[in-house]
Amino acid sequence: MSEQKQSSGDILIEELNRTNSSSRIGQLGQLVLIPILAVITGLAIGAIIIILTSESVYAAFGNSIGSGLGEAFGVVYEAYWALFIGAVGDPAKISAALSSGDAEAVRRAFNPFSDSLVTTTPYIFAGLAVALGFRTGLFNIGVEGQLYLGAALATYIGFAFTDLPPILHIPFALAGGLVGGAIWGFIPGWLKAKTGGHEVINTIMMNYIAIRLTEWLVKGPLQRPDAQNPISPIVLESSQLPKLFGDPIRFHIGFFIALATAWLVWWYLFRTKMGFDLRTVGANSNAAKYAGMNIVRSTVLAMSLSGGLAGLTGANEILGVNHFFVSSFSPGYGFDAIALALLGKNHPLGVVLAAMLFGFLRSGATSMQLNAGVPVDIISILQALVLAFIAAPAIIRTIYRLKEPKESDAMMISAGFGD
């Protein structure tokens, strides 16, 4: 593994070159430029929505156009500034804390930042799950269901096995999450390989089955003994992901586990021959079959691995943040993950960066809602817009008058249902 000494930036460039040949520099430029422009454009449209839905702006326009424009600028500034402070922290507080030198104050000033990393963590896992599927030509739209199964199993291991030291209990519970999700990914993978049943439909169906199933679990076998409402017992402290700072700072080691997982996925996909199998099956399953690769095994394996990563998403949330299972705890990580996998060009490093963007936006949005009165749901709108722009770069190129690259880069992942 002598090649592992490259910097991550070199690796990204190398990977991009693997798939794109002609006019590399132009393409590379657009590869980085388009996601950035997509996010900026999304934020701009978000600003327009904020303005259009602000009563104070209408009131100000009633007075004069000038005051209207001023107010419009004001509400957007207020909202995005609140978003920024909520996501990264208040620069004034940070510098004050740093100059005071009080460790506790510094920790508190950086709390928004570390909290954003906590929000980022599940996005990394979920994004990797979707990206791994895409790389194998599979559209795993079932991450949402898989993460519920993973979470349920991790919860069970977390509270049912007493007297385990953390060094055993944490890996055990995480493995449970992995297995729970993997089972839920295995089924549609197997159905696809054996019967040709399209994984998009099957994973959508399995999302709803998973939600109903875990609803039932948490009302029955997994219900907290003394509770009236459907919640599980709290997982034992020995299974909780350790927090690096004292309460109330939520930052736990899950973020580092996620980074390590991203590296592992990259290594597996781009360095090993099993990864080559998966990527070849994804790029052209016929050619893979002719080259003696086992399509059934690759498809089942990829869906299981993808499901396993999704299961880790759920386990991470239970063991690191929530500490007990309650139905519908996920704010839609599985669906957001589709957007961020594409934003990260299905590359683990890209996924990490895109997950951080989504994590910081989500995390900051809470403070935006509180301080600027802009509902957090603006982030979902933003994500939808970014997804559209990334999938159809022609829109961005039209807006910014960029040149068309030679090779078409429209996203085609799923084959037709008729195949």
Map the footprint of another protein across residues 276-335, applying CB under 8 A: 276, 280, 283-284, 286-294, 332, 335
* Min CB(191)–another protein separation in Å: 6
* CA 369 vs CA 60, 306, 372, 380, 381: distances in Å: 22, 34, 6, 14, 15
For the CA atoms of 296, 301, 306, 310, what is the dihedral angle to 10 degrees? 120
What minimum distance in Å lies between the beta carbon of 243 and another protein?
A: 31
Reply yes or no: is the peptide bond before residue 248 cis, omega within 30 of 0.
Answer: yes
Is residue 17 a contact point for another protein (CB under 8 A)?
Answer: yes
- Our finding on whether 18 is near another protein (CB under 8 A) is yes
Q: In the window 173-232, what residues touch another protein (CB under 8 A)?
A: 191, 195-198, 200-202, 204-206, 208-209, 212-213, 215-216, 219-220
**What is the per-residue binding string for another protein in 227-266, x denoting contact by CB under 8 A?**
----------------------------------------
DSSP 243-266: BSS-TT---BTHHHHHHHHHHHHH
Q: What is the DSSP letter of 90?
A: -
Cβ-based nearer residue to another protein, 203 or 239 = 203
| Beta carbon nearer to another protein, 94 or 342 | 342
- Tell me which H or E stretch contains 82: helix 65-87
Does residue 164 touch another protein according to CB under 8 A? Answer: no
Decide if residue 15 touches another protein (CB under 8 A): no
End-to-end CA distance of the chain: 39
Point out which residues pair with 243 in neighbouring strands.
252
3-state secondary structure of 235: coil
Site string for another protein, 59-88 (x = CB under 8 A): ------------------------------
Q: To the nearest whole angstrom, how small is the minimum distance from the Cβ of residue 218 to another protein?
A: 10
Question: Within positions 360 to 419, which residues make up the interface with another protein, using CB under 8 A?
Answer: 373-375, 377-385, 387-388, 391-392, 394-395, 407, 410-418
Task: Assess contact for 47 and 76: CB atoms under 8 A.
Answer: yes
Q: What is the number of alpha carbons within 13 Å of residue 162 lying toward its C-beta?
A: 2
Task: Tell the smallest beta-carbon distance from residue 181 to another protein (Å).
Answer: 18
Q: CB of 98: closest distance to another protein in angstroms?
A: 36
